[in-house]
Amino acid sequence: MEEVSTVTLIAPAKIDGVRKTVGESVTVTLAVARQLEVAGAIPPLDEVEVDLADDGDDRLMEKGHELARAKERIAGLEGTLSEVNAEFADVEAKYVALVADHTALQGANDELGALKEQAVADLQTAERRIEELEAAKPAPKPATKPKATAKDAAAKG
């Protein structure tokens, strides 16, 4: 016959198709009690169940050792988790800085593009102005010989 227990509900639960309310005491099998425990409908059952037979003290000591090893393992895992969380925070900070740098670079690139467009427009304006000035420049006069002066004639002669 399966072991039965009486438990008091700390949350509503449906047992054998019947809705039970908070504070009700119900008699259930150990399997159902474990399900209620997992669902949070009853407080946690005792962690260590010991059969107090002839070897009860030895089993209790072994359970104590198992519990101590489990606690050590949990402490180690918590330390590892702390290290991972610290590394994650570092990576996250680097990512935020990288995003900020990327955003700044995009802004500088946009500004450079605008300056380039302005420079091209200014160059085109300057080229048009040069063409206008060259078109408006008077034609050069033909070169003429300077008239000889009396001084030049005396020097020749």
Q: What does the domain layout of the chain look like in residue ranges? A: 1-45
Average model confidence (pLDDT) across the chain? 84
The Cα–Cα gap between 59 and 68 comes to 14
- In this predicted structure, the answer to whether residue 43 has a pLDDT above a threshold of 60 is yes
User: What global pTM score does this model have?
Assistant: 0.37
The Cα–Cα gap between 29 and 3 comes to 6
Mean pLDDT over 26-52 rounds to 77
Confidence of residue 56 (pLDDT cuts 50, 70, 90): low
Q: What is the CA radius of gyration of the chain?
A: 49
- In this predicted structure, the answer to whether residue 147 has a pLDDT above a threshold of 90 is no
Strands 13-15 and 25-29: unpaired
Beta-bridge partners for 29: 4
Confidence of residue 55 (pLDDT cuts 50, 70, 90): low
**H-state helical runs in the chain:** 30-39, 56-136, 150-156
pLDDT, residue 30, reads: 85
Q: Report which of residues 61 and 96 the model is more confident about.
A: 96
